[in-house]
Structure 1
Amino acid sequence: MHAEPKTLRLLIVDDCAHNAERIFELFRATGHCLQAQHVSSLEALNRALKTPWDVCIAAHRCQNAPSVAALNCIQQQRSDISFIQLTQDNSSAALTAALHDGAQDAVYQADEQRLILVVQRELAHLAERRQRRAVEIALKTTQQRYQAAIDSAGFAAQLRQLSSQDLVTGLYNRQHFLQQLDAASERAINIGQPASLAYIKVDHYSQLQVQLGLAAIDLFLLDLAKLLRQHLKHGAHLARLADNAFSLLTPDTSPEDDKAQLLNLIKRVEAQLFDINGRSAQTTLSIGVARLGEKSAHASTVLKRAQHCAEQLSQGNGLKIYNPADDLAATAKRGEVLAMLHQALEHNSFKLLFQPIVALHAGPDQLYEVLPQLVSPRGHNIPRAEYLDAALGAGLAEKIDRWVLLNAIQQLSKQHQQGLTTRLFIPLSSASLNDKTLMVWLAEVLKASPLAAHSLILQLRESDAISHLKHAKALSRGLQPLQCQLALEQFGGAANPLAIFKHLPLDFVKLEHSFSAQLNQPAAQHRLTDLLTLLHRQDSRSIVPNINSASILPALWQAGVQYIQGCYLQEPSPNMHYDFALNDQ
């Protein structure tokens, strides 16, 4: 059973933001989930140290935050952060000097492979230290309980209970639960006694931690555990399996038999308003369920299946039962999608849908986003998000991008021949960023069409632009003589999203969906307003997508959003027939 990946909290001290982003990308490329921040002064460092970090990497020279002073700041905060000094050369003298100053290690700034290995080693050491402190605290708590228990007649029973109990929630702990799970697996194999295993994940746990604080989150988990106990069958084994997850083992039943109970639990938690030290908190659950039976795999594999089902519920607040056919279907579906992609390219059978992007404060723009669809043999539309990974893996994304560009330009030309001033947002994949001949090809296509070039707005994903920044800059330069514009979608997911403006002039920025979620909360409104203020200073126009109701329009208006998009305005359509005049009324 594999543990959930931990986030690497990485702090970079450097005058140069480009150097910091290079290091961030280095660790993203090695599979790390990053919580990253770049600072270039002692003042910024002191502010950053108010939140916990795992590793601090300091440049060999930083004018406003020399490495010795930065290390002193960390030591004064008594923060357990591994400090790694980058050096200008690979000499033993540089290493000795860094170690003498108190750094955990020093690495030659050009030796990226050694930097990765050193950070991995320091993370292991850090985990050991933190685990040791946690064990020491737990040991102290256990000793106190042991002393109290020794004064009572039930000492042995209490001691057994403590060894199997989670100290925060009072539920079974992970170790005890895994023992129960192994025993249930043996019973299922040896005597045919089935059981249902549920992995219960608390949705948006990291946001709850930020909202409540580390101390109050334990009180929240305690209240949630009480609610779970009240609504589950007697005889079921309920445990706290991880920081953000519980597990439930119900003997003599199946996932299907457990379904009604678990769905009721999901509804109950969704409706519950938790009062934590006078502050209100709400959450939802994602529950994955798997079966322990005579022919089941090892217990750890069954647990992994239940966990995977829970994690597949990307929207949260739901239940998924493991189906063995899903594993086979996923492999088969990928092969099926690739076959459809080849067929669509060969027979020119992709389909373009269009969705309007409307100015919230009125204006003359007639904007649409192009939404390429793959049509299945049964006539179903498969959105780009569902086939893009397969296309990239098979080397087909570049061809698909050109097909979309060519056909979008043809349809847009028809709009302009009718006297309309329509402009299109056309998505590009990361494959096109690496296509050195794309600009030459696009120039020829535009030359052969009656279309004004400024009618095209090429749209990149933020993650693609950051991962292929050099190629994105080349694309931006290539678009200038063609008078095409550039847009970024899914904006806001990077550690420092505004840093992209140092490299790319962006005409439009489409925000990540999370920025428009929970706008009924003042904190979310302030967050959106602050971001929009910074965006508009960069002369970029802002777009908020996924607007499905009118309820959040007043908040978007007050925040200063310039454009909106979503099914509230119009569903994606094969035609561009939205009445933009309605918006001017």
Structure 2
Amino acid sequence: MNKMLKTFLREFTFRRQLTITMTLGILCLALFSSLVSSWQANQRVRRNLIEQGQHITENLARQSALALLYASPDNAAEAVSATLAFPGVVSVEIRDTGQRVLLVRGSTRPSEFPKSIVLVAGASAQAVLDAESEGAWRFVAPVYSQPSAASPFEVQEARTERLGDVVVVMSKAALSQMTSDIFIANMTSSFSFALLILILIRILTSRMSRPLNQLSASMARAEAGVSNVRAVLSGPKDIVDMAHAFNSMMAALEDRIAAVSHAELRIRHLAYNDPLTELPNRMQFMDLLNQTIDRARDKGQTFALLFLDLNRFKNVNDTLGHDVGDRLLIAAGLRIRHSVRAGDSVARFGGDEFTVLLEDLTSTTAGSVASQKICLALAAPFEIDGHDIYVSASIGISVYPADGMDGNTLLKHADSAMYLAKKNNSGYEFYESGMEATISAHVQMEGALRRAEERNELLVYYQPKVVLATGALSGMEALVRWKHPEFGMVSPARFIPLAEETGLIVSIGAWVLRTACNQAKVWADAGMPLAVAVNLSGVQLRQRNFVDSVRVVLAETGLDPALLELEITESVLMEQAKETLSSLHQLKEIGVQLAIDDFGTGYSSLSYLKRFPVDTLKIDRSFVSDVTSDPDDAALVTGIIALAHSLRLKVVAEGVETVEQRDFLVRCDCDYIQGYLLSQPVPPDEFERKILDAVRRAQ
């Protein structure tokens, strides 16, 4: 039964379930109502027929008195015939008091009733239901003598006497027929009424189920994946509430789906794009590169891969902070994007590295043109938070298919070319076979330089500086040297740019500063207070805590700040004028001397030069070497000395190697000289033995 009910609830719609249930219920109710009404009607008809039989029997009893009084059947024949004429009377019998039959009319089955009758006690003439069979009733009524009318001759009061009984048998056929007719009439009316109710229920269920069907259809569309599905708000309140709840659920679901879709798009965007510059990231670039290779292979085209690295970006991060560095990367990415065609692909490969795909090239010249545009775009200063930031680019170029047939090979070769461009400071380089060997040596050199400080391979040499007018020793310049156990003495021109490129210059410069201050303190304590000049790189100067580190070194070594001179190249000073001005003033407050190194090779602004708290200008050796043979160099040197003196600055001429050069500088009223004419840079023990001993002897 439970299984059938579950099947019924699962297989049929709500409307059909409701219709079937209501139909069965109303039919059962109509049938029950017909049965109850028919039974009640049957009982009423039965009572009426029994009362009718009793009346007929009583009437016959009154009319049979003479026949029994005179024992004459003929006197009762008419009354019997009249009685038999009543509908349903099937037999009549008249008996005397001795139960002898006086008259019998009609037909009855002898076995239908018992032979004996129940005699009515008392003097009442009322008929009684004596017996009842399946098909008939038997009524019995006593017969009494009737008193005659009053007579003048009667002398005594008349008196009644029981004369016998009459028996009337009535058929139940009328009862059955009437019951059947009533039942049929009841059934007809009940089922007609039920049909009317069913029609009304059908209409009502239709009106009720229509909103449910609409709601179900909306749910089906939603299940099928249709968006923006809404149910119609119609029908009874509870269905309207359900539809409203469905609409609210769909709205919430759509919001959730929209949020998930947005999140998926965001995740995909983050997976394939750089979150800082919004350019494609390394993963997406590799996909683009492989797709470009497939297209170029199918169409027989050529394309170029540019691998770009920002020079000095690490210095910006270290000195101005990562926030400025991030904004610099964003601005650089925009400039690179605007330097190439709209159809070319630009990506941030990682860190300060960018990659560019130049598709469908007719010649490799397009790679050179694009690289030049990028280098020029990045060479202009970036103004961020009031800082003019200068960076440059090193670009390596590999060409498909000449430099590789797959993405990894092209990237490797472009990276090798970029490495060489950075090493040569050439801006950009095309890949050539054999570059890997050069780069391998460069990488080997970098690894050795990283270990040099730990292995005590770095040395500080000293070159004397003298007063030109008197020849007196005024100080020395501290110069770093690298003695490699395998390579021997490595030229500063090789490892200093490498140190600046890798950031090692910070730790190397700090070590040189401390070593030079220690040595100057030793000589000062020995009675030779000589000023020591230490070169600073732009990377060091951009360090936020550089001034503090100088204070710490002076405090720990005990050197008088007036005996320390810091040399900053003209190009570094001018590129970072705004950033370094505050640091220079702080160094002056400490008491440190400041000098502009390699003066004349850069692009100094006289207004900036006036604002810088420097004490000395050092003329670059490239001008000094030809002062006796090149009138232009002689004029430049003369002008620099005059300009410096007009600004109350001292002048040091570097690279003085001949007596003629010295004499020219004497005539120009130069303050100090240093160079091979005096001495090459030498180790501290040799400097003390040759230079300081000579000074002592002269004293």
Give the TM-score band, short-chain normalised.
Answer: 0.3 to 0.5
TM-score (norm 2): 0.37
Structure possessing the higher radius of gyration over alpha carbons: 2
Structure with bigger helix share is: 2
